[in-house]
Amino acid sequence: MADAEPAPGPSPDGIPLAVMERIRKRGGSATIYDIAELAGVSPSTVSRALSTPGRISQKTEARIRDAAARLNFRANPMARALNTGRSHTIALVVADITNPVVFGIVRGAEQAASAAGYTLVVAESQESDVAEAETIERLLPSVDGLILATTRLGDDALAAVAARKPMVLINRAVTGVDSILPDVDHGVGQLMTHLSGLGHRSIAYVSGPETSWISGRRWERMLEHAEGLGIALVEIGPVAPTIEGGRDAIRRVRAARVSAVVAFNDLIAIGLMQAAAESGVIVPRDLSVTGFDDIFGSELVVPALTTVRSQLELAGRRAADNVLAHLAADPAAAVDGGLLQTELVIRASTGAASS
């Protein structure tokens, strides 16, 4: 009779070859069964050690965690959700993922989520309230909380979502829902004072989407400051918050016979400047142009754009921190630092009003 084939021995790092072969066939993903074999415990003990630390002896837990580390084990968040009810995932929903204003918000939210051991997923609504509602419905079963930046939903719809999962809004105020808001009045006040000091007595505001809460607040503050400064003010819009939206608005701006224009955001302002140059209007000699947000690239256009800077990265970080505070059932830990600072950044796109 032939001798029986010897059982596979351990690899050079002490991991049984049979375990390594199973992991290889699965594409490199270890399971709790592999950890259990390496640590010499049952799979249920591994599950308790990884999902609820402190339920087994420290010595056994340390052995299990060492085995998990040696196998490069990463917990499946969906499987963990079945046991704990938590996926350790937060969703960030934005209106337009191609808008550079999103970059800072995403970075800040990702930093806060990652530091807490959470994964951040990003989705967009393409400036549609219907698409936004559908996106949120798809996300809700698989995330622990939400951040909505530049939301286009109505107050009642937002309140209904907040009643189902912890949620924080950026640039939108709704009664009973946590919000991260900029100091609109400060930035607008600096901007209007700047334009008034340059001699501008007639200004147009090119507004953003009709459903944009922040656009309405900027217009209201501009009205108040215009009245105090004795400036004629006209609203043009709503327009799409894009470069093309700004280009489309140039005829109405010129027809308004204003010497300066304030755009809802930097993208609209850049589009206005492009269209102005094509139509023979020289910025800022013939028309001063300003925007909001100070996005990447606003200082690279010619002329460089005067704009009101917002603390976008801090807004994302603070929003994620507040969602996490609610998930920890510790609302007192939520960050309440008041309104986020805004600041006028003066560049070359504004100049003295032509006489």
> Does 149 map to a domain?
yes
Q: What is the pLDDT of residue 4?
A: 45
**Is the domain of 124 the same as that of 221?**
no
Point out which residues pair with 292 in neighbouring strands: 308
Q: How many Å apart are CA 167 and CA 248, to the nearest integer?
A: 35
Q: How does DSSP classify residue 262?
A: E
Q: How many Å apart are CA 101 and CA 293, to the nearest integer?
A: 7
Q: What is the pLDDT of residues 199-255, one digit of tens each?
A: 999 999 999 999 999 999 999 999 999 999 999 999 999 999 999 999 999 999 999
pTM for this prediction: 0.78
> Does 10 map to a domain?
no
Q: How many Å apart are CA 173 and CA 93, to the nearest integer?
A: 16
Q: What is the pLDDT of residue 18?
A: 81
Work out how many domains the chain is built from and give that number: 3
**Residues 6 or more apart whose Cβ sits within 8 Å of residue 289:** 260, 261, 263, 269, 272, 273, 276, 283, 305, 306, 349, 350
> Does 254 map to a domain?
yes
**Is the domain of 278 the same as that of 205?**
yes
CATH of the domain at 25: 1.10.260.40
**Is the domain of 197 the same as that of 159?**
no
Per 3-state DSSP, what percentage of the chain is helix, strand, and coil (rounded to 5)? 45, 15, 40
Q: Which of 272, 295, 310 is the last residue of a domain?
A: 310
Point out which residues pair with 261 in neighbouring strands: 204, 289
> Does 338 map to a domain?
no
Q: How many Å apart are CA 268 and CA 239, to the nearest integer?
A: 8
> Does 198 map to a domain?
yes
Sheet order of strands, 178-180 included: 119-124, 89-94, 145-149, 167-170, 178-180
**Cα–Cα distances in Å, from 282 out to 139, 277, 287, 346?**
47, 6, 7, 18
In angstroms, how far is CA 162 from the centroid of its own chain?
A: 17
Res. 6 pLDDT band, cuts 50 70 90:
very low
Provide the residue count of the chain.
355
Q: How does DSSP classify residue 351?
A: -
| Omega before residue 10 within 30° of 0, cis | no
Q: Is the pLDDT of residue 309 over 60?
A: yes
- Tell me the residue range of the domain where 318 lies: 84-182+313-333
Pull the structure tokens for residue 249: 């608005």
